[in-house]
Amino acid sequence: MGAVFLAEDANLADSLCAVKQMLDLGAEMDEYVKARFVAEMQVLTRLRHPAIPNVRDFFQDDQGWFLVMDYIQGKTLEAELEGHRQAKTNFSSQQAVADGLVVLDVLHYLHTQTPQLLHRDIKPANLIREQSSGKLTVVDFGLARSLEERQTAVHTSVGTLGYSAMEQLTGNPEVRSDLYSLGVTLYEMVSGIRPTFA
């Protein structure tokens, strides 16, 4: 749905930021993609949590829609998992618990918003460990939706195979669907076994 660029924010002392651009996927997808991108902007601009990147700005010009966010310098959990696979090691249970608690806190924050928000894509690729602090950050809210919106919208299957609960794959995600995705991620961290979809 988009491309992400590393940029300097001249308005904030040339600090680094991430700029997400909505890609042009053709005329028939234009309205759908635009609606998804605008929905992500609306979700992110009102969220304030230490483990969620802050939105600095969003705008539209001749080249499309853009979302400007804090840049999180570090590695995704997916990259860390690949490093462990190559070294034939796994995350310690202590690290998995510490990381899991951070994500649980984010999910609790989302699930207690009014209306409740579902992330719908918790997976290692959407968890970044900040290089300087080691702090975990939850990213990519492109599939996030309010539970209220989910109940009135056309039910479509979204998420990532292997990390999505069955009710989510059938177009009926719930609060527990995000918890399932986190559970799969934690299992992969301590076992080294990549989830598969049968």
| Catalytic member of 9, 61, 70, 121 | 121
The closest of 148, 121, 125, 12 to 70, measured between CA atoms, is 12
Is the peptide bond preceding residue 124 cis, with omega within 30 degrees of 0?
no
Alpha-carbon distances, residue 182 vs 133, 156, 163, 194 (angstroms): 22, 21, 8, 13
- CA distance linking residue 185 with residue 180, whole number of Å: 9
Residue 30 a catalytic site member: no
Judging by DSSP bridges, how do beta strands 127-130 and 117-118 pair with one another? Answer: unpaired
The closest of 121, 194, 197, 103 to 160, measured between CA atoms, is 121
- CA distance linking residue 156 with residue 136, whole number of Å: 29
Structure tokens given for 15: 């600090």
Contacts of 83 (CB under 8 A, 6+ apart): none
What ranges in 27-174 are assigned the alpha helix state H? 27-45, 77-87, 93-111, 147-152, 166-169
Which residues are part of the catalytic machinery? 121
